[in-house]
Amino acid sequence: MKNKIIILISLFSIGLFTIAKAQIAIGKTIITNSSVLLEFGSDPKGIRLNPVEDVTLMTASAGTIAFDEITGSFRYYNGTGWSVADAGGVTGGNPTNTDTNTKGVIIGASASSVQGAVILEASNKALVLPKVSNALVIASPPKGLIVYDMALKAVQVYNGTSWVAY
């Protein structure tokens, strides 16, 4: 009986480890790229970065991206500082950095040392942004929407008034 319990616990642990390392598809049923943790379908949609009141007040890890409410700009943290803000974005609205939950959804591992809403943990896989033929095909995009524009071959972020290419 003891051996059966140990075997069941081992199988359960292997199952949990497999689930924790899983790849995720959104808007599609099959992962087509083995080098990604999170893959999106072909619908002209993006990922919305909900505005953060002031990114400089966040506890950030290298690779953190956010839509800064103070500057109306998409910004990223390189491990030592935040990127320079782009002018022209819409400021004000609904700040969201008051969330007391320090861990969000972790994909690719069972735990993480960093904070965030969605944390991708992998040394050999990446996030592939939703791809659109042209960001202008998205009707009424919300401030903070991020996509990969295939026509421009650039990451595009909607700042509330226009698309900004990176």
What confidence tier does 127 reach under pLDDT thresholds 50, 70, 90? confident
DSSP state of 143: T
* Residue 7 confidence (pLDDT): 43
Residue 10 within a domain:
no
3-state SS assignment for residue 97: coil
Band (pLDDT 50/70/90 cuts) for residue 149 is very high
Is residue 5 in some structural domain? no
Q: Does some domain include residue 9?
A: no
Enclosing domain of residue 123: 23-165
Residue 144 located in a structural domain: yes
Q: Does 152 reside within a domain? A: yes
What confidence tens digit (pLDDT) does each residue in 55-109 have? 889 888 888 888 888 888 888 888 899 988 887 777 765 444 444 445 567 788 8
Residue 16 lies in a domain: no
Confidence at residue 163, expressed as pLDDT on a 0 to 100 scale: 94
pLDDT tens sequence across 9-43? 444 444 444 444 568 888 888 888 777 788 888 78
In a domain, 32, yes or no: yes
pTM of the model: 0.67
Within a domain: 51: yes
Residue 3 scores a pLDDT above 50: no
Tally of domains within the chain: 1
Question: DSSP states of 62-120 as a string?
Answer: TT-EEEETTTTEEEEB-SS-BPPPPTT----S---TT----EEEEESSS--SS-EEEEE
